[in-house]
Amino acid sequence: MAEIRVKAYAKLNLTLDILRRRSDGYHDLRMVMQSISLHDIVYIRETGNGDIEVSNSVAYLPCDRSNLAYHAAEVFFDATGIENPGIRIEIDKVIPVCAGMAGGSSDAAAVLRGLRELYAPDISIACLCRIGEQVGSDVPYCVFGGTALAEGRGEILTRLPAIPDCWVVLCKPPFPVSTPELFSCVQTKRLICHPDTKGMIQSLEKKDLPGILHRIYNVFEEVLPDKYDEVYSIKSRLMDLGALSACMTGSGPTVFGIFTERKAAETAMEVLKKEYDQTYFASMIHA
């Protein structure tokens, strides 16, 4: 029976900008995205019974249709017209949940990539990204991976030059941030600052790491309610520990710091880990 093991990488937002609210209720975004080495592992095994079964290593995560990995498998067989022979998906979760790192979308993308390899190797990545759109806004990027510009709801993707090597420390404080709450804050408080996305892209093209680090910016930080102030204290801690740039990723609450020295990043990780269980060290992943 066919089987495959796929890595589902977490993502960071090097920039996150909100351009406008659309008439369909979604927002037009412009984001520079980056895959990092922190990953879940997704195993897909053919069972021959015609069903989709999901299990995962986190007890409170759903295993039914509401698991994005399950939904991705359903959408894949629907969209391609391939008959489901019966598959079992096992997810070994490492990426923290509700962290702004697209963990669920990344599992969904890993299922799509795995099923493509097993049953439809002729389907292009662009086509797989379009299938992913039906699962969630971040899924096309997670299929695409690496360094990329994501526009629209996140589904319009442009490959960007890889970020020069550097190291990341990620720290998730122990509370969730509600994404709808943040979007509603953006409605009530007008955004004053926006990331210099064009400058970020030029810096990536020139492999100018200081220019890249200087332009890391997420507009959600500007509207973050005071009750989430710990995000700012983690940013300061990361900078004090030698990060050259620190920022919240996605709709948070995870904060990442970027280091050029591996040793400094490892030391920062060890220090923060004493206070925050969910602290991780990672490198950049190129597509």
Give catalytic residues, as residue numbers.
Answer: 11, 138
Smallest gap from Cβ 250 to ligand ATP, in A, equals: 4
First-to-last C-alpha distance (Å) of the chain? 29
Nearest CB to ligand ATP, comparing residues 103 and 195 = 103
State how beta strands 217-218 and 245-248 pair.
unpaired
Nearest CB to ligand ATP, comparing residues 203 and 218 = 218
Name which position in 29, 33, 73, 99 contacts ligand ATP (CB under 6 A): 99
Distance CA 37, CA 19 (A): 29
Smallest gap from Cβ 249 to ligand ATP, in A, equals: 7
67 belongs to the binding site for ligand ATP (CB under 6 A): yes
What one-letter code names the amino acid at 233?
Answer: S
Distance CA 287, CA 229 (A): 34
Burial of residue 50 (number of CB atoms within 10 Å: 0-12, 13-18, 19+): exposed
Nearest CB to ligand ATP, comparing residues 102 and 168 = 102
Q: Is 18 in a helix, a strand, or coil? A: strand
Distance CA 207, CA 147 (A): 12
Backbone angles phi, psi at 96, to 5 degrees: -60, 150
251 belongs to the binding site for ligand ATP (CB under 6 A): yes
97 belongs to the binding site for ligand ATP (CB under 6 A): yes
Distance CA 96, CA 160 (A): 26
**Binding-site residue total for ligand ATP (CB under 6 A)?**
19
What one-letter code names the amino acid at 230?
Answer: E
Nearest CB to ligand ATP, comparing residues 35 and 67 = 67
103 belongs to the binding site for ligand ATP (CB under 6 A): yes
Smallest gap from Cβ 97 to ligand ATP, in A, equals: 4
Nearest CB to ligand ATP, comparing residues 102 and 212 = 102
107 belongs to the binding site for ligand ATP (CB under 6 A): yes
Binding site for ligand ATP (CB under 6 A): 61, 67-69, 91, 97-105, 107, 138, 179, 250-251
